[in-house]
Protein backbone atom coordinates (compact mmCIF):
# COMPACT_ATOMS: atom_id res chain seq x y z
CA UNK A 1 0.00 0.00 0.00
CA UNK A 2 1.43 3.36 -0.93
CA UNK A 3 0.53 6.52 0.90
CA UNK A 4 0.26 9.80 -0.98
CA UNK A 5 2.39 12.69 0.15
CA UNK A 6 0.68 15.57 1.99
CA UNK A 7 -1.89 15.99 4.69
CA UNK A 8 -5.35 14.54 4.82
CA UNK A 9 -8.40 16.76 5.09
CA UNK A 10 -9.01 15.64 8.68
CA UNK A 11 -5.48 16.61 9.71
CA UNK A 12 -5.85 20.06 8.15
CA UNK A 13 -9.20 20.61 9.86
CA UNK A 14 -7.73 19.64 13.23
CA UNK A 15 -4.87 22.11 12.79
CA UNK A 16 -7.31 24.85 11.79
CA UNK A 17 -9.50 24.10 14.83
CA UNK A 18 -6.49 24.34 17.15
CA UNK A 19 -5.42 27.66 15.59
CA UNK A 20 -8.99 29.02 15.88
CA UNK A 21 -9.13 28.01 19.56
CA UNK A 22 -5.82 29.77 20.26
CA UNK A 23 -6.97 32.94 18.50
CA UNK A 24 -10.26 32.88 20.41
CA UNK A 25 -8.43 32.73 23.75
CA UNK A 26 -5.77 35.31 22.90
CA UNK A 27 -8.00 37.98 21.30
CA UNK A 28 -9.76 39.20 24.50
CA UNK A 29 -6.43 39.41 26.30
CA UNK A 30 -4.91 41.46 23.48
CA UNK A 31 -7.91 43.78 23.28
CA UNK A 32 -7.83 44.32 27.04
CA UNK A 33 -4.13 45.15 26.85
CA UNK A 34 -4.81 47.68 24.09
CA UNK A 35 -7.54 49.36 26.20
CA UNK A 36 -5.24 49.56 29.21
CA UNK A 37 -2.43 50.99 27.11
CA UNK A 38 -4.72 53.67 25.66
CA UNK A 39 -6.00 54.60 29.14
CA UNK A 40 -2.43 54.84 30.41
CA UNK A 41 -1.51 57.09 27.49
CA UNK A 42 -4.50 59.37 28.18
CA UNK A 43 -3.63 59.57 31.89
CA UNK A 44 -0.04 60.41 31.02
CA UNK A 45 -1.19 63.14 28.60
CA UNK A 46 -3.43 64.66 31.29
CA UNK A 47 -0.56 64.67 33.77
CA UNK A 48 1.91 66.00 31.19
CA UNK A 49 -0.29 68.96 30.34
CA UNK A 50 -0.92 69.70 34.02
CA UNK A 51 2.77 69.55 34.93
CA UNK A 52 3.82 71.55 31.89
CA UNK A 53 1.35 74.34 32.68
CA UNK A 54 2.49 74.43 36.30
CA UNK A 55 6.16 74.57 35.28
CA UNK A 56 5.45 77.31 32.70
CA UNK A 57 3.69 79.38 35.38
CA UNK A 58 6.58 78.90 37.83
CA UNK A 59 9.28 79.74 35.31
CA UNK A 60 7.64 82.51 33.26
CA UNK A 61 5.07 83.87 35.68
CA UNK A 62 1.97 85.77 34.67
CA UNK A 63 1.69 88.57 32.14
CA UNK A 64 1.64 92.00 33.81
CA UNK A 65 -0.81 93.43 31.26
CA UNK A 66 -3.30 90.58 31.73
CA UNK A 67 -2.50 89.06 35.13
CA UNK A 68 -4.60 85.96 34.48
CA UNK A 69 -2.54 84.93 31.42
CA UNK A 70 0.68 82.99 31.71
CA UNK A 71 3.40 84.79 29.74
CA UNK A 72 3.97 83.71 26.14
CA UNK A 73 1.11 81.21 26.22
CA UNK A 74 -1.62 82.37 23.85
CA UNK A 75 -5.08 80.82 23.85
CA UNK A 76 -5.84 78.19 21.24
CA UNK A 77 -4.45 74.90 20.01
CA UNK A 78 -0.87 76.10 19.56
CA UNK A 79 -0.57 76.34 23.35
CA UNK A 80 -1.17 72.58 23.70
CA UNK A 81 1.71 71.93 21.29
CA UNK A 82 3.94 74.12 23.46
CA UNK A 83 2.94 72.30 26.65
CA UNK A 84 3.01 68.73 25.38
CA UNK A 85 4.54 68.12 21.98
CA UNK A 86 3.04 64.64 21.51
CA UNK A 87 -0.43 65.53 22.80
CA UNK A 88 -3.22 65.77 20.22
CA UNK A 89 -4.52 69.33 20.47
CA UNK A 90 -7.83 68.34 18.87
CA UNK A 91 -8.70 66.06 21.82
CA UNK A 92 -7.34 67.94 24.84
CA UNK A 93 -8.16 71.25 26.45
CA UNK A 94 -6.66 73.11 29.41
CA UNK A 95 -8.61 75.71 31.34
CA UNK A 96 -6.93 77.73 34.07
CA UNK A 97 -7.79 80.65 36.30
CA UNK A 98 -5.63 82.67 38.65
CA UNK A 99 -7.19 83.49 41.98
CA UNK A 100 -7.92 86.97 43.22
CA UNK A 101 -8.18 88.61 46.62
CA UNK A 102 -7.04 86.26 49.37
CA UNK A 103 -6.37 83.53 46.76
CA UNK A 104 -4.14 85.75 44.60
CA UNK A 105 -1.40 83.14 44.14
CA UNK A 106 -3.70 80.15 43.72
CA UNK A 107 -4.12 78.76 40.20
CA UNK A 108 -6.95 76.33 39.45
CA UNK A 109 -6.46 74.13 36.40
CA UNK A 110 -8.78 71.75 34.56
CA UNK A 111 -7.35 69.44 31.93
CA UNK A 112 -10.04 67.84 29.76
CA UNK A 113 -10.09 65.25 27.04
CA UNK A 114 -12.65 63.84 24.67
CA UNK A 115 -10.69 60.59 24.27
CA UNK A 116 -12.98 57.56 24.42
CA UNK A 117 -11.39 55.54 27.22
CA UNK A 118 -12.57 53.93 30.42
CA UNK A 119 -12.42 56.32 33.36
CA UNK A 120 -11.80 53.35 35.66
CA UNK A 121 -8.68 52.39 33.72
CA UNK A 122 -7.42 55.99 33.74
CA UNK A 123 -8.07 56.17 37.51
CA UNK A 124 -5.70 53.26 38.03
CA UNK A 125 -2.91 55.51 36.74
CA UNK A 126 -4.19 58.97 37.68
CA UNK A 127 -6.51 58.55 40.62
CA UNK A 128 -8.00 62.05 40.61
CA UNK A 129 -9.26 61.95 37.01
CA UNK A 130 -13.03 61.76 36.71
CA UNK A 131 -15.63 61.33 33.99
CA UNK A 132 -18.02 64.24 34.26
CA UNK A 133 -20.38 66.47 32.36
CA UNK A 134 -18.71 69.61 31.14
CA UNK A 135 -18.62 72.28 33.85
CA UNK A 136 -18.86 76.00 33.11
CA UNK A 137 -15.54 77.73 32.53
CA UNK A 138 -16.65 81.34 32.77
CA UNK A 139 -13.58 83.52 33.39
CA UNK A 140 -11.05 80.76 32.63
CA UNK A 141 -8.27 81.01 30.05
CA UNK A 142 -8.79 78.31 27.40
CA UNK A 143 -5.95 76.40 25.77
CA UNK A 144 -6.38 73.69 23.16
CA UNK A 145 -9.76 72.33 22.20
CA UNK A 146 -12.35 74.89 23.19
CA UNK A 147 -15.59 73.03 22.62
CA UNK A 148 -16.47 69.73 24.23
CA UNK A 149 -19.84 68.02 24.14
CA UNK A 150 -21.32 65.50 26.53
CA UNK A 151 -19.20 63.93 29.23
CA UNK A 152 -15.45 64.41 29.32
CA UNK A 153 -12.54 62.99 31.25
CA UNK A 154 -11.34 65.69 33.64
CA UNK A 155 -8.20 66.11 35.73
CA UNK A 156 -8.33 69.00 38.20
CA UNK A 157 -5.54 70.42 40.33
CA UNK A 158 -4.42 73.63 42.00
CA UNK A 159 -1.04 75.13 42.72
CA UNK A 160 0.32 78.38 44.13
CA UNK A 161 2.48 80.89 42.28
CA UNK A 162 3.89 83.89 44.14
> Does the residue 3 lie in any domain?
no
Separation between Cα atoms, residue 1 and residue 20, nearest integer Å:
34
> Does the residue 99 lie in any domain?
yes
**Degrees to nearest 5, angle at CA 49 with 46 and 98:** 110
> Does the residue 47 lie in any domain?
yes
What is the residue range of 41's domain? 9-160
Indicate the range of 54-63, 140-149, 153-162 predicted with least confidence: 140-149
Q: What pLDDT score was predicted for residue 90?
A: 86
> Does the residue 60 lie in any domain?
yes
pLDDT digits (tens, 9 = 90+) for 43-100: 999 999 999 999 998 988 888 777 788 888 877 668 888 888 888 888 899 999 988 8
Strands 130-133 and 151-160: antiparallel
> Does the residue 4 lie in any domain?
no
Average pLDDT over residues 11-40: 93
> Does the residue 36 lie in any domain?
yes
Q: What pLDDT score was predicted for residue 14?
A: 96
Average pLDDT over residues 98-120: 87
Q: What pLDDT score was predicted for residue 133?
A: 83
> Does the residue 1 lie in any domain?
no
Q: What pLDDT score was predicted for residue 114?
A: 86
What is the Rg, in whole angstroms, of the alpha carbon atoms belonging to the chain? 25
**90 Cβ contact list (under 8 Å, min separation 6):** 77, 145
Into how many domains does the chain fold? 1
Please indicate whether residue 86 or residue 4 has the higher confidence score (pLDDT).
86
> Does the residue 24 lie in any domain?
yes
Amino acid sequence: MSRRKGFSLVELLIVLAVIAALIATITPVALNAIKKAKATQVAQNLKTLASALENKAYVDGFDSTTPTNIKDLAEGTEAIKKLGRDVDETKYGVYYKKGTGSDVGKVTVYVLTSEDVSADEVNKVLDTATKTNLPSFEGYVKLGKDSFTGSVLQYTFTFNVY
